């Protein structure tokens, strides 16, 4: 299946667990520089839909396309190479590493040249206002700081589209405002952002 339009496209996704439908005929479009929210109560299938798009779950029907290329059968790492970044709701940073080493862990895979790798590290630390935290252990970060590091680490892989699974969960009201600002910044960078959340007010 190939469609002419660019962007991240989802067409008629279906997935069941123990014969119980979790997602049925879900379709959506996400273009670069656009923010789309997938809203619904807990247990409504949002995360399963995300898993299907990211490549963590194989849907029983439907298609996922990246810029016209059908990636439905591709594993997560292949989709990542084509431009999909995924940030789960759960803590995803390495708690035993410093902030700097968390970002370098991705840059060492994504950027071959050592000098360019260090340059990109400094850019990300500065852009997300975490330079002063570079040597801090990840386990000592606040909820908002952790989210900034996680998003910076996602951007180290230079994604075209970023999937944020309930990014406002487990953070304080001040951090909610920070994350909103980060999402707006991602949009201005030309990155397509897909967000799931159960709280309409926070997401909007």
The dihedrals phi and psi of 195, each to the nearest 5 degrees, come to: -115, 135
- Three-state DSSP state, 166: coil
Domain ranges of the chain: 8-197+199-203
129/6 Cα distance (integer angstroms) = 32
- The pLDDT score that the predictor gives to residue 102 is 95
pTM score of the predicted model: 0.85
DSSP character for 42? T
- The answer to whether residues 84 and 158 touch, using CB atoms and an 8 Å cutoff, is no
Question: pLDDT tens, 38-67?
Answer: 888 877 888 899 899 999 999 999 999 999
Q: How many CA atoms lie within 13 A of 88 on its CB side?
A: 10
Residue 141 CB contacts under 8 Å (≥ 6 apart), including other chains: 93, 99, 133, 149
145/171 Cα distance (integer angstroms) = 10
- The pLDDT score that the predictor gives to residue 143 is 80
* CATH class of the structural domain 8-197+199-203: alpha beta
Residue 152 CB contacts under 8 Å (≥ 6 apart), including other chains: 103, 124, 125, 127, 128, 130
Q: Which stretches in the chain have pLDDT values below 50?
A: none
């Amino acid at each position: 299946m190939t469609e002419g339009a660019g962007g991240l496209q989802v067409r008629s996704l279906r997935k069941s667990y123990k014969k119980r439908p979790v997602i049925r005929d879900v379709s959506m479009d996400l273009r670069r520089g656009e923010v789309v929210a997938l809203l619904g109560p807990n247990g409504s299938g949002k995360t399963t839909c995300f898993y299907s798009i990211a490549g963590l779950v194989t849907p029983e029907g439907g298609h996922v396309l990246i810029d016209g290329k059908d990636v439905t059968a591709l594993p997560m790492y292949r989709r990542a190479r084509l431009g999909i970044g995924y940030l789960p709701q759960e803590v995803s940073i390495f708690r035993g590493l410093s902030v700097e080493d968390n970002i370098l862990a991705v840059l060492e895979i994504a950027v071959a040249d050592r000098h360019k790798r260090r340059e990109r590290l400094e850019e990300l630390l500065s852009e997300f206002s975490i330079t002063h935290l570079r040597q801090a252990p990840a386990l000592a970060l606040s909820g908002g700081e952790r989210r900034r590091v996680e998003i910076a680490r996602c951007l180290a892989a230079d994604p075209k589209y970023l999937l944020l699974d309930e990014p406002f969960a487990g953070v304080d009201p001040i951090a909610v405002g920070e994350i909103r600002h980060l999402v707006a910044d991602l949009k201005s960078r030309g990155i397509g952002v897909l967000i799931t959340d159960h709280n309409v007010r926070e997401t909007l």
